[in-house]
Amino acid sequence: MPRKSAAENEVPEKESNVVALNERKNEDEIKKLTRMLGAVLEYLTDDELDELDIESLLDETDGLREWWDQYRESNKKKIAEEIKKSLGALSLKELEAIREKIKEKKDE
């Protein structure tokens, strides 16, 4: 029976290391998200809370602002597509106002 070379034995080992590393990263991400979700729910269920202060929540929850910024950036294409589809329903006046805002943004 032919024997496998040492190089052939290493490939599955490397692949299993990559899989284990990815699983570890996923577990860490889940722990991080669970912690942030817990902090948000604690904030929302605070009986002494009179008014929601999202900025305060983002500032006081470690990692939440960074996650929120990444989430918003990942949805940028979806938002742009939704806007594009809705342009036909807008009046000329509304479209001109949007165009002016875009020009102002370009001039900044």
Phi-psi region of 21 (alpha: psi -120 to 50; beta: other; left: phi over 0): alpha
DSSP state of 6: H
**pLDDT one-digit tens code per residue, 74-98:** 999 899 999 999 999 999 999 999 9
Domain boundary assignment for the chain: 1-74, 79-108
Q: What is the pTM of this model?
A: 0.57
Looking at residue 5, what is its pLDDT?
56
